A and B are shown apart, each in its own frame.
Chain A
């Protein structure tokens, strides 16, 4: 939503001098809100007011980029509090940290590189490696950053509040636009200088939300606006509250100091609790979540949750159109036809499983629409079914020529029989009827 008349009016000088051509400041504000006048027509408006009005028309959460090339991360540009209102735009960057006191930094970084997973036919991975200056030693930190950079393509987060250590690390890694973590009340002037010099995104860390807002304003006043916010909270309940406030204030109140993506840290030593904490942060607005585990069993559930939360609710979710096996089907197993709408597919798969008879399922590519929707739109046709049967080579897998069609599209059975030569059994209208259907009709 653009600026409202009230927002604009509050910034005007309220002189009612008529020099803008309008009878009152209020009328002028209405004209601007309607796009019929420009702010420059008022000779008395202050620079601060101009700045406030211009920044208010910017997106509520700024877009911030970390890294370069293929592995560059984009964060921010979010516009909603709930994904069902529109969608979440940029998935949380999952970041694994390594300490500069670690004996085998190269080895740990290579473990992180391996955190790549296959989900629904696509690959997903972690996004960033954070190098922490646990030693407090600038040279040791620089060496660790060097090792990390040589061993991974992922962007780095350089984590130290020591300006001298950061400077050394940036001499090595600065060209690849790492995240500088973090500017605090004590060091923000020097850290901002470094961020400007290397043109790197800068994390701003406050002791609480109030200090964070102050600090964010001070850094932007110094002329740097590629920011990532850290409210300092580490307990999960406090992080949840702070994340919610930051996103709410940015979007609902256009509070500029909070108009940036956020970073969160998982600090729990118990791996189960750590994954649960990270799940909360992924669901609740965190742009970056930093963990210190590289165990694939910890990361896979988070990658999956992130994929699910950041899917577009307005687009149907589809499964791949290929041959699926339930159990270990033999040559005499039944073959079910359905569509590749994930909701439809998983209903059918679940009910076939419940029947405890191994089977094949063929979900036709209907652009992720349901059986009746696809049928009405001409996407579930005898031709499209036969095409998938040929593509998947189902004829070679089974020793019979029988298909089971959803009961809702019984009308397709004749034509399908004609073009495929297979016997078409009309199954139940609801997949919940599959177990009893198999008992009565398949044996």
Chain B
């Protein structure tokens, strides 16, 4: 299970202020904290307060600041392709692009970019018509992503398909469809494409969010979820991921499996 730490995002107040004041300390602090908690990737998002023109420079600054104290690769999170490319240029290690949709115009921009920088790429199973209702429709869009990745020479192990989780208080019927879609996505190609989820979305404005998050994550892992963008400092969630890895026979059991999971 690949844990993508969600915390360096301008949506959070401390990060937003750090970006505005050009203060590297909160960025460094969260990079270190997430790495220690067991994250494998650091998601980097400038947040909505940064104007489109400033986004590339801010992205570049965030990536270099985070990687000045952490050896983790980054998951460059933006809707602006110029900002993403600016991040890719300075990033160390195997970066991840977050994200393209299955819209042809977007795939034509991001897929060649992933190939050029040898980056992994997150593909959202949606297009200009929005988020599909059923698992079959999600899988059909996932197939578009698979075919486009293949045409661009991106190995399936670098394509992370996100079947899109919606908040369970207002879009409750989506959760089982997401799980069914995960199973189908794993059958689309051989080797199978990877899967991911913006996990915290499932519990937006719900009671006891951590419980919903980790329960859904474990259920999705059983359906073939390989990674998730999560709160890496939610210890219960990381414990659940470690336990699920054991129960899926992905990691060999040992008594110190919780510690071992965090060290890799």
- A interface residues (Cβ-Cβ under 8 A, vs B): 1, 4-7, 9-10, 26-27, 29-30, 33-34, 252
Contact = CB atoms under 8 A, between A and B. Distances in A.
B243 interface: no
Interface of B: 139-140, 143-144, 146-147, 150, 184, 187-192
A1 B188 CA distance: 11
B140 A4 contact: no
Contact of B143 (A10, A30, A252): A30
Contact of B146 (A1, A6, A34): A6
A4 B139 contact: no
Contacts of A7: 189-190
B190 A26 contact: no
B140 A30 contact: yes
B139, B140, B143, B191: residue with the most chain A Cβ atoms closer than 10 Å: B143
A33 B184 CA distance: 10
Nearest to A9: B147
B139 A26 contact: no
Contact of A26 (B147, B184, B191): B147
A185 B150 CA distance: 35
B187 A4 contact: yes
Nearest to A29: B143
A249 to B, nearest CB: 13
8 nearest A-B pairs in the assembled complex, by CB-CB distance: A6-B189, A4-B189, A5-B188, A4-B190, A5-B143, A6-B146, A30-B143, A4-B188
A216 to B, nearest CB: 22
Given A1-B190, A26-B144, A33-B187, A6 B150 contact: yes
A4 B150 CA distance: 13
Contacts of B192: 4
A1, A6, A30: residue with the most chain B Cβ atoms closer than 10 Å: A6
Contacts of A29: 143
B144 A5 contact: no
A33 B189 CA distance: 10
13 contacts: A4-B187, A5-B187, A5-B189, A6-B143, A6-B150, A6-B188, A6-B189, A7-B189, A10-B150, A26-B144, A26-B147, A29-B143, A30-B143
A188 B184 CA distance: 44
A250 to B, nearest CB: 14
A22 to B, nearest CB: 10
Given A27-B140, A30-B139, A6 B147 contact: yes
A43 B61 CA distance: 56
A34 B143 CA distance: 13
A6 B143 CA distance: 8
Contacts of B190: 1, 4, 6-7
A243 to B, nearest CB: 22
A27 B192 CA distance: 18
B141 to A, nearest CB: 10
A5 B140 CA distance: 10
A409 B187 CA distance: 48
A29 to B, nearest CB: 8
Nearest to A27: B140
A30 B188 CA distance: 8
A1 B186 CA distance: 11
Contacts of B147: 6, 9, 26
A7 B139 CA distance: 16
A10 B147 CA distance: 9
Contacts of A33: 187-188
Contacts of B187: 4-5, 33
Given A30-B143, A252-B191, 18 more contacts: A1-B190, A4-B187, A4-B189, A5-B143, A5-B146, A5-B187, A6-B150, A6-B190, A7-B190, A10-B150, A26-B143, A26-B144, A26-B147, A27-B140, A30-B139, A33-B187, A33-B188, A34-B184
A1 B192 CA distance: 11
Contacts of A34: 184
Nearest to B149: A6
Nearest to A1: B190
Contacts of B143: 5-6, 9, 26, 29-30
B138 to A, nearest CB: 12
A27 B140 CA distance: 7
A33 B143 CA distance: 11
A42 to B, nearest CB: 17
Contacts of A27: 140
A4, A10, A29, A33: residue with the most chain B Cβ atoms closer than 10 Å: A4
Contacts of A5: 143, 146, 187-189
B155 to A, nearest CB: 12
B143 to A, nearest CB: 5
A264 to B, nearest CB: 28
Nearest to B150: A6
A26 B191 CA distance: 18
A120 to B, nearest CB: 29
Contacts of A252: 191
B144, B190, B192: residue with the most chain A Cβ atoms closer than 10 Å: B190
A9 B147 CA distance: 8
A14 to B, nearest CB: 10
Nearest to B190: A4
A9 B189 CA distance: 10
Nearest to A6: B189
Nearest to B193: A6
Contacts of B139: 30
